Structure 1
């Protein structure tokens, strides 16, 4: 027995000397049955290659491409050892490995599609740990715009591949998004922003569900300027176009509050601005209409003479509350726009306009996208009454509804009534 243990320890010591290429070759040829041996081979492969441990400043394009190839081969080898069925029971322990856990976690989150809840949660806890006050005070090498870009991109990739991530680890993910947004807006406010960095705001818009964070981002965008050393120059058309695209992404987030839209409206392109010409906020509506009118004037000035186009019937817009008040039955007038029709963007615009009306009631709310209804605080009492009526005292149905609601993405079209019906259907 002792000699067997000694042999295993000697074998583990030898495995520890392997690089990722050798670890993969040994595993493929041997297919070890001993979990300790397989785990040791995976850890050996997960060790950072020597080629990736140097100083990467002032590299040529060819040298950067070579490093990328080395990194890609390293990740491919580690995944080749993690993917087979015999390795999967080892995933929970490997994710929590003191030295290689973060690297293995990244591989699993970005390559595995079938993580069960326990493994996915373990990965999320490693990749997005709860931030304590002590951790928040520490200096981070990757801070400011760069750190925000890395964090937001990681959240976006993770939640796209694993939609249950927000359900399992929502508070920490939302805290990570908020912290990254604070890093981003702080640096932009102090040092300005390069044209190439505006896409970080677009990534933020794709993962943020906090009106407060979106409001801060809009305020930052409104006051942003090029980097301090470029301030003597005029803003370039490319810089202005990049800001406009970022403003559009933030404005189209369904959690964007009215005060943020007011700040973003002057920077919207005409295509996005056209979606807000019926917005209930007067300043946002007027600004959007001005942008669209200016675009039409430019088109008329530059377009060559051509035969008059055939006119397609326009989709009617939801009337304002003042116009609805003049009708015999304002509630029925709103109901005429349901079920929602037209392209996805038009359906969301119509849904938002109905929600913004004081004449909207429970009969309308059930037919509108759940993600928009649940984010509209003015309808919270009506939504609560509707849920009580439909779900009653069935705890399983309430839990099913909660899980489904947390899975909703910002652009999810599923209606509130459908969500409630599915929650009831799965419970006795």
Structure 2
């Protein structure tokens, strides 16, 4: 069904109201803080279409509440000079998560039996510059009820409703006679959203055994247990004799995560005489609206023996490479398995994949990446003398191919 048109007031009514307003200015209460014109409204009883739930405009954001001051009047309002039937100020809140409506209104004067009126507060959605009411509450101003309370000219409102969870984006309040055929005054306004912040949480990071004068990437688990996604997360840190390279997480951490993402953070130990045997790193993760810290224990160790030159082959995996006299890994190849394609076209695949020549660092941990125009390969393996332990290789390339596998190696000759 089509939407009902907004209430339009005859020019004669507007003109009459203006003349009376000018003539009785001295007897009036202080003027309301409101903007003339600009917005219009349609009460719920005049709107034929059924209520509907609208998703928040921001993806990944959870709306805690919508709120705002009601400061706009339709043209021709108010239509009375009776202060008790005029609105001075108004504001409204939709507590979305708490499923509660609240509002505050100020009348131009304390109502009496002869100046009583009906007050209606409505929450709804904007369509262009018209606020269409969906949820409506009504009371008399003299004997406030139905969630309304009054003290002098101050009227407060509070009511629980599951419909408050719909995140309404506008509200209006109007004063009228009993059947609503004569409206005395109206205030309308937009309700702006307040979003729940993310909440970052580190997982446990084991004690790190790090070689001095070397950079080692440590794996740091982190997740977001808040109600909104965490964008642009960074991890930084500091510690005595340590340098922590600030690391940006390249993807958002989704809200209410039950699992952690692993972020690789580079840490460099300074010269041996500047680093205590045992020290600590304080890591800090930050994003808009959230900050968390954790402490990681560090033990300084001497560098492991350098791998001897020669040919290496996997003992438990299909891996082969050579170490030359300069300590570089050459001719690296490993057998990986995984999948290509997406959805119904996904299929298993496997094969031999190579890696560029790379140097074995002082700490004995190769942690490098090779990027081509259409592919990316990650290689991480740790040398203990002439033996490789804790090795992994990952490949991603065309046709949505993703393969991985463990790697190891022992010197053959």
Common topology (TM > 0.5): no
Structure of greater Rg: 2
Instruction: Classify the TM-score, shorter chain.
Output: under 0.3
**Greater relative contact order (Cα < 8 A, sep 6+):** 2
Q: Which has the higher helix share?
A: 1
